[in-house]
Amino acid sequence: RARDTVAGNLESLAKRGRLPEGLAPLDEMLRTSTRMADVAGANLIIEAVWESMALKKTVFGELDRHADADALLATNTSTLDIDEIARSTARPESVLGLHFFSPAHVMGLLELVRGERTRADFVAAGLDLGRRMRKTTVVVGVCHGFVGNRLFIARDREAVRLLYEGALPEQIDRVLTEFGLPMGTFDLADMGGGIELGYRARQDRGEVEPVGDRLFLAGRLGQRTGKGFYRYEPGKRRPLPDPEVTQIIEAVSREMGIERRRFTDDELRERLILPMINEGAKLVEEGMVLRASDIDVVWQKGFGWPDWKGGPMYHADRLGLAAVHERLLALQERHGERFRPAELLRVLAAQGRTFTGELAADTAAA
C-alpha cells in the first residue's frame, strides 16, 4: 500500500511536469519492509505512526534497538511531547521532531522540533534536510501542538464552545473564510478526518467533547462517509448544512444547561481570532520560537493564513496590541480565565510596542 501511494503521487507530479528529467525508477529509489530490523544502516529514520504516545514510545524503543548508533531518530508527531518520546530510548540526544504538514509531498512547511537534549548537529541536519526538500523550515520548542497546532487547537476549542452557546458550523466556517482562511474549522475537520482523530485523541486522554463524540458514534466521520459536521451529496465535496447536526448540537446545549443565543459575525471573529493571537504571545514568552514572525510563517505556509493579513502576530500589530489586550480583558471578564491576556501581550501593549517590530499601532491606524 505504501509503495502504491508513493507511485501514485509520483505519477500525479509527472503529469503536471513537476518531476526532474532522468529520475531513477521507483524500484531503485524505494525499498519497503515490514521488519523493524531493516532500519539498520539508515542515517535518518522518520516515524509517522498513529498519534498515540504509547504507540510512538513502543516504536522508538524498537528503533533504539535496531538503528545505527549515529542515526537521527525523528518523529512526525503534530502535538505530542518530543522529550517524552525521546526518553523511551537510551539516546534522547538523537531524537527530534520533523513535523511535515499534510500532504507532505505538497505542503511547503516543516516544523523542526528541538527537544531538551537534541544535539545541535542533528538540528543542523534537520534544517539541511528541509532545505534540500525545498521546505520552509521553522525551529520550534517542545509544547503541546508546537506552533501551528497550538494556535489551531486554541481556535478550534473556542469554535466548539460557540456551538454550545448558539452558533452553528456553517456560520463559524463562513466567518473564518470571509476573514481570509481557505477553510473553516468544521469543513476542515470533515475533509481531514478530524472527527475520528479528535475522538481517538480524547479517548487516550480520558476527555469528552459531546458534539464530536456523538458525531463519531453516529458514524458521521466526514466527507469519506458522506456526513460529518455537514452532509455531502454522492461524489460531491460541497458541505451542506444538516438538520441532524443542528439537533445534536442543540441537545448538547440543553444537557449542559446553556441557553443558546444568536451571534454577530464580529463576535465570532473576535472569539476565534483573539485566542490565537494570545496563544502566539505565550509561545514567544515561553521561548518556543525564536521570533514572533516565525509564528506568522507557520500559519501562512501551513494553514493558508491570508498573505494580506501577514500572519496572526502581524495581524495583532495591525489591530494594535493595546486594543487586543483590552478586548481579551473584556472576554476574560465575561467568559473566564481562558481569555486572560498573556503577560508579554500586557507588557508590549503598555509600552506601545509590537510583536513584529515592523508596524506601530499608530501607523496602522493612519
Q: Which residues are catalytic?
A: 99
How many Cβ atoms from other residues are within 10 Å of residue 142's Cβ? Answer: 20
Contact 48, 21 (CB under 8 A): no
Contact 86, 95 (CB under 8 A): yes
Interaxial angle between packed helices 312-319 and 321-335, expressed in degrees from 0 to 180 and rounded to the nearest 10:
100
Contact 256, 115 (CB under 8 A): no
By CB atoms closer than 10 A (0-12, 13-18, 19+), residue 275 is buried
Contact 106, 40 (CB under 8 A): no
Query: Which three cell numbers mark 205?
Result: 486522554
- In the DSSP assignment, the letter for residue 226 is T
Alpha helices in the chain (DSSP H): 2-15, 26-29, 53-66, 82-86, 120-132, 148-165, 169-179, 185-192, 194-205, 210-217, 243-255, 265-286, 292-303, 312-319, 321-335, 343-351, 361-365
Residues 339, 94: Cα–Cα separation, whole Å = 38
Residues 279, 282: Cα–Cα separation, whole Å = 5
- For the chain, the first-to-last Cα distance in angstroms comes to 57
Q: Residue 139's closest CA among 167, 156, 118, 161?
A: 118
Query: Which three cell numbers mark 55?
Result: 504507540
Query: Which distant-in-sequence residues (6+ apart) come within 8 Å of 244 by Cβ?
Result: 227, 231
Contact 80, 90 (CB under 8 A): no
| Residue whose C-alpha cell reads 515490514 in the numeric block | 34
Q: Residue 140's closest CA among 114, 101, 121?
A: 114
